[in-house]
Structure 1
Amino acid sequence: MNMEGYGAIALGMGGASMAYDNGTAAMMNNPATLAMMDEGANLDLALGFLAPQVGSSDGGTTNRSSADFFGGPAFGWVRKHDGLLFGIGVYGQGGMGAEYGSDSIFSNPAKQPVSPGLVNRSEVSVGRMILPLAYEVSPNLKIGGSLDYVWAGMDLKMAINGASFMQMAGGASPMASASGPMVGAFGGIIGAAPGQIGAVNWGYFDFSNQNDFTGQAVGTGYAGKIGFTYKLDSKTTIGATYHSKTRLDDLEAQDATVSFNVDINGGPANLLIPVSGKMTVKDFQWPDTYGMGIAYEASERWMLAADYKRINWKAVMKDFRMEFTPAGNVGMAAGFNGLPMNVTFYQEWDDQHVVMLGAAYRMTDALTLRGGINMANNPVPDKYLHYLFPATIENHVTAGIGYVTGKRSHLDLAFSYAPKVTATSGATGITTSHEQTNGQLVYSTHF
């Protein structure tokens, strides 16, 4: 879910950013490198895009996710005076998502003669408004940190066949569990008597606003970063940073629905029972991260950089927990009002280890060429892989250019490509593939 590079300069360098000046995007990388900037003010205006290509296969049929393009702006402004730098910036942290339409292999979970045409969709997005502070202690030593206001949004439309839901309720599912008073009340109306539910065909979780920038379930909080750089000699600089785990409130969606398609004994077949209420995503957090790196000015034209980053997913992605509290229902659903249901999807992510290597070549005084690679392990175990949470990308190849457009301005452009990763869920047998192309364009001015 983490982006491979923040800012077009760093993205072009494979994401490496710990020990050289990479613009105001450094407030997402190592804030200490901000102190490498010249005295005065700097403004960066950015546009970026993510173009994931995700597909899933089941029973010999493959569908492609239609969530194949996400775009958004970012900006950073900083001012340095007498070695002290402060500023503000807004940057996207990362996320993931997929969408399978009303005719996909997931749209008819009970394989009914007439498909209900259920859309399956997920979207997770996290962003930050950042207040950085950096200081040039000496010509060799720079320190920095930031206070980050963090927001997160989430949409989810997920269909589950009836047998899987009953396994979840009975504690027998290898993927998830469902518990709480609502589950108990639901179980109480399942039986053989007339008027009781004879079978659950499918269930459907639904909270989604179709907004490209915010999710239906939202939460806010804070985090922080610290870092330093030290110049070992005239050509070599090292740097390191620590990004804290976020402290986000639970994400809440007030207008959520959990629907059940059931057979009623002695009554109409395939009766739909929609239950309205509030969905709360419990303790969704972005992990803490450690990063370190080195930059080496090999010549007047060549600069090389190498970073290592550890992203501690294991501490925050053990599971994905939701609490649904029904309210305001009438008819058959009225008996669920006020009875919460707790749903847990097992995740058990591994920590992610990322190696970033980059090079920059100053071809002329105006033009700089960049290239890099970004190598990481897939943190998502195959056992719990879900087709709506395809955060399986491992490696990236990146390239970029920088061009001086004036005495005080320049443009930087970068692209990355992540080769396809294919994995099969050990619990469901569904195979999901994911490859991706990303890009960033940044206009920078100094004044």
Structure 2
Amino acid sequence: MSPKFARLSAAVVSATSLFTAVSANATNGYFIEGTGPKAQAMAGVGIALPQDALAAANNPAGTALVGDRLDIGMTWFSPDRSAKIRGNQAGADGSYDGNDKSGFVIPELGYTRTLSPSLSYGVAVYGNGGMNTGYASNPFAAFGSSGAAGVDLSQLFITPSLAYRPTPDHAFGIAATFAVQRFEAKGLQAFDNPYVSASAGNVTNRGHDTSHGWGIKLGWIGRLHENLSFGLTWSSEIETGDFDRYRGLFADGGGFDIPESYGAGLSWNATQNLTLAADWQRILYSDTGSVGNSLALLFAGKPLGADGGPGFGWQDVDVTKLGAAYRLNDALTLRAGISHAEQPIPATEVFINILAPGVIEDHMSLGADWNTSIGEFTVSYTHAFENTVQGTNSIPATFGGGEAELRMDQDILRFGWSRAF
């Protein structure tokens, strides 16, 4: 084994080990907004604008365009989530704080290498998304639950990529993505009985469980004009196997596959120093039963955990991102971006989503790169603006009726270091 490959292997193992100890609350539903500190500083833009060795997470064709480099990043993620219940005849009315844990650390690592003028390879290790809530005061206590309530979902992606650049103006990429998920649910005893679940005893307080699986990514980036590039990317659904310990909670016996997504992007070098970019992404949450199926199925005779059983009722979303990078001088580049995501949680599905209040829609990012003799340092700050979803016919009569409300905002601070070889 070469010394360079040994160092890379050790770094990947270290990053993978670190991921087992963290959880995240992502922003576009439960998908992370952007991968890599440079992309995050531009609100996640990256489909047609690869900038670092984590480019394959956004578009595997980017591996051909970033050169030989190592990128390491670290994110401090701080979500603020809460829920309210009103008009409930079972006595659940109140305000509930979901911030039992309020800060999370998310690492990432990327490495790319050029094999020839037309062929490059790389590996990216990153968190794709997740969801965490912790309610010390249990919103479901009036229905028979006890103790603190909440869920803890984290996802790790390892994406080796291969990119082919047949001409200077076009690059094509393919990547195999290995995904690992970790999940735990607490305080859901109200749903853990034979009348509600197809597998009572496997709904809540079963500790952490893991699942894993493989998917693929495809991508293309083409220069359409001297200063204008266009990109396309697609990520397959990842069948990750079942969370067996929670086969009475998730549809299809504990299934929780990672949804398919695809997107397009533009990058324009408006001047010698100013680059503008835009991405559009679509995430197909509704194709994953545990995420997309409605809770209403429970009252149509489909218990939790059954084949085709109830889920969180999330709908597909479109995400639009706009970003800018301005090179102030050879040492300093300034970055900024805004993004908007459609709302994944319908007003009728708010009750069950007290556990997963992914209601954020709008983000703003600022950041900068500082080039030094020991590498390039990147810092970014993103604010996810507060958003509230008011329930409409959201609490079934079986649970006493009334309405639930979800609220969330987030702050994201990201640091990165990179070195070109």
Which amino acid in 2 is paired with 1:57?
A: K
Q: Distance in 2 between matches of 1:257 and 1:379?
A: 24
Residues 1:108 and 1:73: Cα distance change in structure 2 (over 3 Å): same
Which amino acid in 2 is paired with 1:303?
A: T
Q: Deviations over 1:100-130 (max 9, x none)?
A: 11xx15273258xxxx851102011111111
Matching residue of 1:68: 102
Q: Distance in 2 between matches of 1:431 and 1:204?
A: 27
Q: Distance in 1 between matches of 2:256 and 2:151?
A: 15
Pick one of 51, 61, 75 that aligns with 1:48: 75
TM-score normalized by the length of structure 2: 0.80
Q: Distance in 2 between matches of 1:124 and 1:117?
A: 21
Q: Distance in 1 between matches of 2:369 and 2:80?
A: 28
Q: Deviations over 1:298-337 (max 9, x none)?
A: 111100001111111111132389xxxxxxxxxxxxxxxx
User: Structure 1 residue 294 and structure 2 residue 266: aligned?
Assistant: yes
Pick one of 115, 120, 134 that aligns with 1:85: 120
Q: Distance in 2 between matches of 1:110 and 1:49?
A: 35
Shift of 1:359: 0.5
Residues 1:320 and 1:67: Cα distance change in structure 2 (over 3 Å): farther
User: Structure 1 residue 153 and structure 2 residue 182: aligned?
Assistant: yes
- Give the conservation status (yes or no) of the 8 Å contact 2:285–2:314: yes
Q: Distance in 1 between matches of 2:370 and 2:347?
A: 43
Pick one of 203, 206, 220 that aligns with 2:204: 206
- Give the conservation status (yes or no) of the 8 Å contact 2:73–2:417: yes
Q: Which has the higher helix share?
A: 2
Q: Deviations over 1:387-419 (max 9, x none)?
A: 11111111111111111022x720111121111
Matching residue of 2:388: 422
Q: Deviations over 1:329-367 (max 9, x none)?
A: xxxxxxxxxxx9846443332111011100011111110
Secondary structure of the residue that 1:142 maps to in structure 2? Answer: strand
Let me know the Cα RMSD of the aligned residues: 2.8
Which amino acid in 1 is paired with 2:281?
A: K
User: Structure 1 residue 178 and structure 2 residue 211: aligned?
Assistant: no
Matching residue of 2:371: 404
Q: Which has the higher strand share?
A: 1
Which amino acid in 2 is paired with 1:287?
A: P
Shift of 1:371: 0.5
- Give the conservation status (yes or no) of the 8 Å contact 2:286–2:313: yes
Secondary structure of the residue that 1:287 maps to in structure 2? Answer: coil
- Give the conservation status (yes or no) of the 8 Å contact 1:109–1:160: no
Q: Distance in 1 between matches of 2:277 and 2:216?
A: 25
Residues 1:127 and 1:204: Cα distance change in structure 2 (over 3 Å): closer
- Give the conservation status (yes or no) of the 8 Å contact 2:76–2:412: yes
User: Structure 1 residue 221 and structure 2 residue 239: aligned?
Assistant: no
Residues 1:392 and 1:359: Cα distance change in structure 2 (over 3 Å): same
Q: Distance in 1 between matches of 2:110 and 2:257?
A: 24
| Structure 2 unpaired stretches of 5+ | 1-29, 87-92, 296-302, 396-402
Q: Which structure would you say has the larger Rg?
A: 1
Q: Distance in 2 between matches of 1:248 and 1:309?
A: 22
User: Structure 1 residue 355 and structure 2 residue 320: aligned?
Assistant: yes
- Give the conservation status (yes or no) of the 8 Å contact 2:155–2:181: yes
Runs of 4+ in structure 1 displaced over 2 angstroms?
58-61, 105-111, 158-161, 177-180, 203-209, 279-283, 317-321, 340-348, 424-428
How many residue pairs get aligned? The number is 363
Q: Distance in 2 between matches of 1:361 and 1:299?
A: 9
Q: Distance in 2 between matches of 1:231 and 1:239?
A: 9
Residues 1:43 and 1:107: Cα distance change in structure 2 (over 3 Å): same
User: Structure 1 residue 94 and structure 2 residue 124: aligned?
Assistant: no
Shift of 1:372: 0.6
Shift of 1:231: 0.7
Which amino acid in 2 is paired with 1:233?
A: H
Which amino acid in 1 is paired with 2:372?
A: T
Which amino acid in 1 is paired with 2:332?
A: L
Pick one of 306, 309, 327 that aligns with 2:281: 309
Which amino acid in 2 is paired with 1:444?
A: S
Q: Deviations over 1:50-80 (max 9, x none)?
A: 2110011224632322232111211111111
Residues 1:154 and 1:417: Cα distance change in structure 2 (over 3 Å): same
- Give the conservation status (yes or no) of the 8 Å contact 1:351–1:379: yes
- Give the conservation status (yes or no) of the 8 Å contact 1:217–1:280: no
- Give the conservation status (yes or no) of the 8 Å contact 2:338–2:365: yes
Secondary structure of the residue that 2:168 maps to in structure 1? Answer: coil
Matching residue of 2:60: 31
Matching residue of 2:149: 120
TM-score normalized by the length of structure 1: 0.75
- Which deviates further from its counterpart, 359-368 or 422-431? 422-431
Shift of 1:375: 0.6
Which amino acid in 1 is paired with 2:210?
A: V
Q: Distance in 2 between matches of 1:352 and 1:301?
A: 33
Secondary structure of the residue that 2:156 maps to in structure 1? Answer: strand
Q: Distance in 1 between matches of 2:277 and 2:314?
A: 29
